[in-house]
Amino acid sequence: MGEKASYVVITPARDEGEYIEKTILSMVGQTIRPKEWVIVDDGSKDHTGKIIDDYGKRYDWIKVVHRKNRGFRQAGTGVVEAFYAGYNALQTKDWDFIVKLDGDLMFDKDYFERSLLYFEKDDRLGIGGGGIYHILDGKEVLEEDHAFHVRGATKIYRRACWDDIGGLHMVPGWDTLDEVKANMLGWKTRGFPELKVIHLRFTGKAEGSWRNAVKNGRASYISGYHPLFMIFKAIKRLSEKPYLIVSVGLLYGYFGGYLKKVPMVNDRELIKYIRKEQLKRIFFQKSIYSKDTGFLENT
With respect to residue 295, please indicate whether it lies within any of the assigned structural domains.
no
Specify the pTM. 0.91
| 16-127-139 Cα angle (round to 5) | 50
With respect to residue 63, please indicate whether it lies within any of the assigned structural domains.
yes
For the chain, list residues with pLDDT below 50.
Answer: 1-2, 204, 206, 292-299
Q: What is the pLDDT of residues 38-70, one digit of tens each?
A: 999 999 999 999 999 999 999 999 999 999 977
pLDDT score for 242: 86
With respect to residue 291, please indicate whether it lies within any of the assigned structural domains.
no
246 and 270 co-located in one domain: yes
pLDDT score for 87: 98
With respect to residue 289, please indicate whether it lies within any of the assigned structural domains.
no
pLDDT score for 298: 29
With respect to residue 297, please indicate whether it lies within any of the assigned structural domains.
no
Task: Report the residue count for the chain.
Answer: 299
Please give the Cα distance from 61 to 131 (Å, whole number). 26
145 and 254 co-located in one domain: no
126 and 265 co-located in one domain: no
Spell out a b/e string for 246-263, using b for 16 or more CB atoms within 10 Å of the CB, else e: bbbbbbbbbbebeeeeee
Please give the Cα distance from 12 to 81 (Å, whole number). 9
pLDDT score for 292: 45
Residues 6+ apart with CB under 8 A from 55: 21, 24, 28, 62
Number of Cβ within a 10 Å radius of residue 50: 11
**What does the radius of gyration of the chain's CA atoms come to, in whole angstroms?**
19
pLDDT score for 3: 59
With respect to residue 65, please indicate whether it lies within any of the assigned structural domains.
yes
Provide DSSP, 169-225: -SSTTHHHHHHHHHHHTT-EEEEEEEEEEEESS-TTTTT-HHHHHHHHHHHHHHTT-
252 and 145 co-located in one domain: no
118 and 225 co-located in one domain: no
pLDDT score for 1: 47
56 and 136 co-located in one domain: yes
Residue 37 three-state SS: strand
Domain that holds residue 259: 209-282
Number of Cβ within a 10 Å radius of residue 31: 11
Please give the Cα distance from 269 to 127 (Å, whole number). 20
Its sign, for the CA torsion 234, 201, 221, 193, is negative
With respect to residue 117, please indicate whether it lies within any of the assigned structural domains.
yes
134 and 239 co-located in one domain: no
With respect to residue 111, please indicate whether it lies within any of the assigned structural domains.
yes
Please give the Cα distance from 225 to 277 (Å, whole number). 10
pLDDT score for 49: 97
181 and 230 co-located in one domain: no
Q: Provide φ and ψ at 81, rounded to 5°.
A: -60, -45
236 and 269 co-located in one domain: yes
Torsion angle of the four alpha carbons 90, 81, 170, 231, in this order, in degrees rounded to the nearest 10: 120
